[in-house]
């Protein structure tokens, strides 16, 4: 296999899919199927994106780093890829300092603020775009909810928070983002070694995916972390969870709203979404009995029964008190103001598997709720 020039827009391979219920779709449908290189064609009628600011000038080519080229050879051997093709792909990647800066954590002691975080994602622009997306894809969203049990408003919330429904899908070359974070992850991060290892595995997944689908690895663009398409799937997630939901025999998370909707729903099915279960409940405290430290120790992982939470000083409404599964006491800080507390269910935890943040999960939930509330009523059929 040889490295190729920039692939023509929407050049793909095809394969057959089983079209039964999404619940029966295996997590590795993409293994022999194409991804679209259509991000390179941002003028497609299916993808209207906002113009992005120019990406800062990147650093030198990784081909000048012998230790990286050795890692490229090791990667090729592990993934059974052509070493020359892998060397060419990684060698043409560049270190991007802006990506390093974006990956550097805030200074220790920087206060978190749920109100500020919420305002970044729940605003008139996203709500209006979400209403339009829902109206354009009402039948597909209903089918995904019917087949998987994942509510349409959760799917809509994810896509809105991630990319404003395709308006902001990222302007970094994926090969640059993944190489920068695999080989030059910022040392200031407290888990720098683990994060670099993660991004090396994502670089491997990306090169395997593009090799398998005859896609130019230099052509695709995404976020500073290498996430791609409307749902911002990392390469490993694309390989495991992306599905052909529009039945055209290819998976396209850049242009096919149906594939995006089905793939987001399939992601949550894989992480054990419980149909019909709420994502969270409001809480109040009996301060005289509250064992806050014990309740917060597991963080967002549902650990306590409703009865145990009540025994430790949490006052639950009737629905929460009758909740049959485990709950987590989730704290969302509000800067100098009092924190917000909720009781998160297994479904709240499932949303955090998309992005490991309780702030993110609640923003997804509330954006979906706001979009659903803003939907105009469906006109009744004449009698």
Residue 179 to residue 130: CA distance in whole angstroms:
33
323 and 314 Cβ atoms separated by less than 8 Å: no
- Taken in order 352, 150, 373, 129, the sign of the CA dihedral is positive
Q: What distance in Å separates the CA atoms of residue 369 and residue 156, rounded to the nearest whole number?
A: 9
Query: Annotated catalytic residue: which of 162, 202, 204, 331?
Result: 162
Clarify whether 162 is annotated catalytic: yes
CA 360 – CA 269 distance, rounded (Å): 19
Contact 280, 365 (CB under 8 A): yes
3-state secondary structure 141-187: HHHHHHHHCCCHHHHHHHHHHHHCCCCCCCCEEHHHHHHHHHHCCCC
Q: Are 369 and 127 in contact (CB under 8 A)?
A: no
Structure tokens at 73: 């050879």
d(CA 289, CA 310): 9
Active site residues: 162
């Amino acid at each position: 296999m040889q490295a190729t020039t920039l692939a023509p827009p929407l050049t793909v391979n095809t394969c057959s899919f089983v079209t039964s219920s999404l619940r029966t779709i295996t997590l590795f449908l993409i293994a022999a199927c194409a991804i679209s290189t259509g991000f390179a064609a941002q003028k497609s009628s299916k993808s209207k994106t906002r113009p992005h600011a120019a990406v800062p000038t990147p650093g030198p080519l990784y081909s000048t780093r012998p230790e990286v080229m050795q890692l490229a050879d090791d990667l090729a051997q592990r993934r059974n890829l052509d070493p020359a093709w892998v060397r060419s792909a990684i060698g043409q990647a560049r270190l991007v300092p802006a990506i390093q800066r974006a990956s550097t954590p805030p200074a220790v002691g920087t206060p978190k603020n749920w109100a500020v975080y919420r305002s970044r994602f729940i605003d008139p622009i996203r709500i209006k775009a979400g209403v339009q997306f829902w109206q354009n894809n009402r039948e597909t969203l209903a089918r995904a909810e019917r087949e998987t049990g994942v509510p349409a408003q959760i799917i809509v919330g994810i896509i809105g928070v991630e990319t404003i429904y395709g308006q902001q899908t990222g302007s970094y070359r994926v090969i640059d983002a993944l190489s920068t974070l695999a080989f030059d992850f910022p040392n200031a991060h407290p888990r720098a070694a683990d994060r670099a290892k993660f991004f090396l595995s994502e670089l491997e997944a990306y090169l395997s995916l593009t090799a398998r689908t005859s896609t130019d690895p230099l052509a695709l663009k995404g976020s500073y972390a290498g996430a791609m398409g409307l749902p911002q799937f990392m390469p490993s997630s694309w390989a495991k969870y992306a599905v052909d939901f529009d039945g055209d025999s290819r998976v396209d998370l850049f242009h096919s709203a149906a594939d995006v909707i089905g793939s987001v729903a399939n992601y949550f099915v894989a992480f054990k979404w419980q149909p019909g279960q709420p994502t969270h409940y409001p809480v109040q405290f009996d301060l005289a009995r509250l064992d806050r430290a014990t309740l917060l120790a597991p963080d967002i992982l549902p650990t306590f029964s409703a009865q145990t939470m009540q025994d430790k000083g949490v006052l639950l409404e009737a629905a929460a008190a009758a909740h049959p599964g485990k709950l987590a006491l989730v704290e969302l800080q509000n800067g100098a103001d009092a924190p917000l507390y909720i009781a998160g269910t297994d479904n709240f935890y499932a949303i955090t598997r998309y992005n490991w943040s309780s702030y993110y999960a609640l923003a997804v939930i509330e954006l979906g709720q706001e979009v659903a509330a803003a939907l105009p009523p469906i006109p009744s059929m004449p009698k």
